[in-house]
């Protein structure tokens, strides 16, 4: 059996980093870990080929070679996935779809021959057998969520590592919190399940053996969902990384309660975590309460961010506008908070009611859902009727982006982050880092209209923040991605009003 695994292309959003990756000469941020993991569960006599369409296009030769096409992706990939499914079906190729999108989109059985809903570890053997003898069912759904001890090492022979900016591993699934807009808890549950420290180290060792060095993205939606387990694992991770003279640094996503736990912060610092993504969402307490995000209300958000940054971890954060309780001045409040917090990479999005969420169900009951939603939180086509006037909401959203990603404001936050976040872990520079530096100097320092702000930042980074120069250049490059995206979402700056 020839199994063709296909991963769809990322649309142009914050997380694609499409405008930053070319600086490093990379084509995608990290590889499709889910497909690589299920590929390890295929019968040994199966042949497998993975096409990550972020790296290269899917060809007719791939389709001709395959007996079955297996796709995976998230809600945001839905349009691309439907196109690929259509292409496969036109050729009469059998299709299977899984991944988070399969839990959110009800109509998928109309587009694919087989749908795998939820986590696949305990379903793959049955599916493979069914595909071989022609008795595969239209729908596979696990009765229970599997323990992660069943998750095998991903098959890294399926990818070419050099095209990726970071490698990915997963430590846990699930999150104990209950945010109203979140689909993670619906898919993976509120009881976090973790891998053992030995499993984590085996995955890292596999990457080290194939000579990967540099960043590892721990893709968990909340890395600290089970603090007790994570505290058991981290010292072993740190000891392994120390013993091998630090082949890797790490970044991940976590909930705000990370800031209360100094022991955990120190452990993450020791293991060489350099960046953490936090869902801050909004500085408005009433909106947090309505979003059932109480874990962000019991603390000073600014102090929490500063405390985490003081452990050498750059905070990247998500912000949302469009909550029912948002006041008129929400846009100014968000800008003020982002400025004060010195968070360089602030990912501000519009609230989306994703299909498989408590928010969607509430708004449906209230008669306020207008469409399924794209999963892209920069999409200004709202999928529900907001309390605020929609035009005002969209224009306010755009005004936030314009204000936080104008070069002066962005470099100011980056500068203040570098000043307050010492000491940072340094990584051993790779050839791609030098290439990125050169490209950044040419593209941002010569060709860009914001070159004055760039050089001012560059000179300060090279003199006052020499200890973190590599991080400063990374921030400049990422800033470029956000600046370009802002122009795409907002269009040209509105003309200033003429004085009468
Ligand atoms: S903390 Fe994050 S992962 Fe957990 S429920 Fe809230 S949004 Fe979802």
Q: Ligand 1 center to residue 256 CA distance, Å?
A: 10
**pLDDT for the residue numbered 497:** 46
Atom of ligand 1 nearest to the CA of 177: 5
Quote the pLDDT of residue 500: 41
Digit-coded pLDDT (tens) for 203-257: 999 999 999 999 999 999 999 999 999 999 999 999 999 999 999 999 999 999 9
How does pLDDT run across 343-355, given as a tens digit for each residue?
A: 999 999 999 999 9
Percent of the chain past pLDDT 70, that is, above it, reads 96
Angle of CA points 288, 265, 28, to nearest 5°: 75
Tell how far the Cα of 58 is from the centroid of ligand 1, in angstroms. 34
Residue of 176, 221, 256 with the most ligand 1 atoms within 8 Å of its CB, for mutation: 221
CA of 255, closest atom in ligand 1: 1
CA–centroid distance, 373 to ligand 1, in Å, is 19
Q: Which of 180, 192, 254, 255 gets mutated to test ligand 1 (max ligand atoms within 8 A of its CB)?
A: 255
| Burial readout 468-491 (b: 16 or more C-beta within 10 A, e: otherwise) | bbbbbbbbbbbbbbbbebbeebbe
Within 6 A (CB) of ligand 1 lie: 175, 177-179, 182, 184-185, 221-222, 255, 279
CB 199 within 8 A of CB 149: yes
290 has pLDDT over 80? yes
Pocket perturbation via mutation, ligand 1, pick of 74, 185, 358 by most ligand atoms within 8 A of CB: 185
Nearest to 392 by CA among 325, 329, 486, 483: 329
C-alpha of residue 447 to centroid of ligand 1, in Å: 40
**Using CA atoms, how far apart are residues 83 and 96, in angstroms rounded to an integer?**
14
Q: Exposed e or buried b for every residue in 338-348, given b needs 16+ CB within 10 A?
A: bbebbbbbbbb
* Between 434 and 419, the higher pLDDT residue: 419
Pocket test for ligand 1, best of 172, 173, 175, 317 (most atoms within 8 A of CB): 175
Q: Give the pLDDT band of residue 435 (cuts 50, 70, 90).
A: confident
Q: What is each CA distance from 340 to 229, 278, 283, 417, in whole angstroms?
A: 34, 16, 12, 10
pLDDT reported for residue 499: 42
Distance between CA 8 and CA 71 in Å, rounded?
8
Ligand 1 centroid from CA 59, angstroms: 38
Please report the atom of ligand 1 found closest to the CA of residue 225: 4
> Does residue 431 register a pLDDT over 80?
no
| DSSP-based three-state secondary structure for 300 | coil
Give yes or no for residue 455 having a pLDDT over 60.
yes
* Gap from CA of 69 to ligand 1 centroid (Å): 32
Closest atom of ligand 1 relative to the 178 alpha carbon: 5
**Average pLDDT over all residues of the chain:** 93
Q: Which atom of ligand 1 is nearest to the CA of 182?
A: 8
Q: What is the pLDDT of residue 141?
A: 94
Average pLDDT over residues 455-470: 85
- Cα(174) to ligand 1 centroid in Å equals 9
Write b or e for each residue in 116-148: b if 16 or more Cβ atoms lie within 10 A of its Cβ, otherwise e.
bbbbbbbbbeebbeebeeeebeeebeeeebbeb
> Which residues, in sequence order, are CB contacts of 116 under 8 Å at separation 6+?
96, 97, 98, 102, 123, 127, 140, 141
For 39, counting Cβ atoms within 10 Å of its Cβ (0-12 exposed, 13-18 middle, 19+ buried), the class is: buried
Ligand 1: which of 177, 188, 277 to mutate, judged by most atoms within 8 Å of the beta carbon? Answer: 177
Q: How far is CA 136 from the centre of its chain?
A: 33
Q: How far is the CA of 451 from the centre of ligand 1 (A)?
A: 38
Six-digit token string for 227: 């603090």
477 Cα: distance to centroid of ligand 1 (angstroms) = 28
Q: What is the mean pLDDT of residues 274-296?
A: 96
Q: How far is the CA of 352 from the centre of ligand 1 (A)?
A: 14
Residue nearest to atom 8 of ligand 1 (CA): 182
Give the number of the atom of ligand 1 that is nearest the alpha carbon of residue 181. 7
- Ligand 1, residues 100, 179, 353: which to mutate, most atoms within 8 A of Cβ? 179
- Alpha carbon of 175 to ligand 1 centroid (Å): 6
CB-CB contact of 214 with 427 (8 Å): yes
Q: Measured from the CA of 183, which atom of ligand 1 is nearest? A: 8
For 494, residues 6+ apart whose C-beta sits below 8 A from its C-beta are none
Can you give the pLDDT at residue 338? Answer: 97
Query: Distances in Å between the alpha carbon of 188 and those of 125, 183, 468?
Result: 21, 9, 37
Q: Specify the 3-state DSSP secondary structure of 219.
A: coil
Å from CA of 205 to ligand 1 middle:
30
What pLDDT was estimated at residue 426?
A: 61
pLDDT tens-digit map of 231-245: 999 999 999 999 999
CA–centroid distance, 223 to ligand 1, in Å, is 11
Three-state SS letters, 361-378: HHHHHCCCECCCCCCCCC
| Closest Cα to atom 6 of ligand 1 | 179
């Amino acid at each position: 059996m020839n199994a063709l695994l296909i991963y769809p292309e990322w649309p142009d959003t914050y997380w694609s980093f499409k405008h930053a990756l070319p600086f490093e000469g990379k084509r995608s941020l990290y590889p499709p870990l889910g497909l690589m993991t299920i590929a390890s569960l295929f019968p040994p006599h199966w042949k497998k080929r993975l096409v990550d369409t972020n790296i290269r296009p899917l060809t007719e030769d791939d389709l001709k070679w395959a007996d079955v096409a297996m796709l995976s992706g998230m809600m945001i990939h839905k349009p691309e996935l439907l196109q690929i499914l259509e292409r496969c079906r036109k050729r009469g190729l059998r299709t299977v779809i899984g991944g988070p999108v399969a839990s959110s989109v009800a109509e998928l059985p109309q587009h694919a021959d087989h749908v795998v809903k939820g986590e696949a570890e305990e379903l793959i053997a049955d599916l493979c057998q069914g595909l071989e003898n022609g008795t595969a069912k239209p729908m596979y759904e696990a009765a229970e969520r599997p323990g992660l001890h069943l998750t095998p090492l991903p098959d890294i022979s399926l990818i070419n590592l050099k095209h990726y900016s970071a490698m990915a591993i997963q430590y846990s699934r699930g999150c104990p919190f209950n945010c109203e807009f979140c689909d993670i808890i619906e898919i993976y549950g509120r009881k976090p399940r973790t891998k053992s420290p030995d499993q984590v180290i085996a995955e890292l060792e596999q990457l080290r053996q194939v000579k990967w060095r540099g960043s590892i993205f721990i893709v968990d939606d909340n890395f600290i969902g089970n603090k007790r387990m994570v505290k058991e694992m981290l010292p072993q991770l740190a000891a392994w990384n120390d013993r091998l003279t630090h082949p890797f640094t790490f970044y991940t996503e976590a909930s705000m309660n990370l800031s209360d736990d100094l022991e955990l912060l120190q452990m993450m610092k020791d293991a060489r975590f350099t960046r953490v993504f936090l869902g801050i969402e909004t500085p408005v307490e009433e909106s947090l309460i309505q979003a059932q995000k109480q874990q962000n209300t019991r603390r000073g958000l600014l102090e929490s961010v500063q405390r985490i940054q003081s452990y050498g971890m750059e905070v990247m954060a998500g912000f949302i506008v469009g909550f029912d309780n948002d006041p008129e001045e929400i846009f100014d409040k968000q800008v003020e908070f982002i400025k004060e917090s010195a968070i360089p990479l602030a990912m501000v999005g519009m609230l989306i009611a994703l299909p498989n969420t408590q928010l969607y169900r509430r708004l449906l009951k209230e008669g306020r859902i207008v469409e399924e939603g794209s999963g892209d939180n920069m999409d200004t086509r709202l999928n529900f009727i907001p309390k605020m006037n929609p035009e005002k909401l969209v224009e306010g959203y755009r005004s936030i982006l314009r204000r936080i990603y104008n070069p002066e404001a962005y470099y100011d936050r980056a500068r203040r982050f570098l000043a307050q976040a010492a000491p940072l872990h340094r990584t051993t520079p790779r050839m791609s880092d030098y290439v990125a530096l050169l490209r950044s100097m040419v593209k941002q320092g010569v060709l860009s209209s914001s070159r004055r702000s760039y050089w001012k930042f560059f000179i300060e980074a090279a003199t006052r923040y020499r200890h973190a120069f590599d991080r400063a250049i990374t921030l400049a490059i990422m800033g470029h991605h956000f600046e370009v995206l802002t122009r795409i979402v907002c269009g040209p700056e509105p003309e200033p009003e003429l004085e009468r």
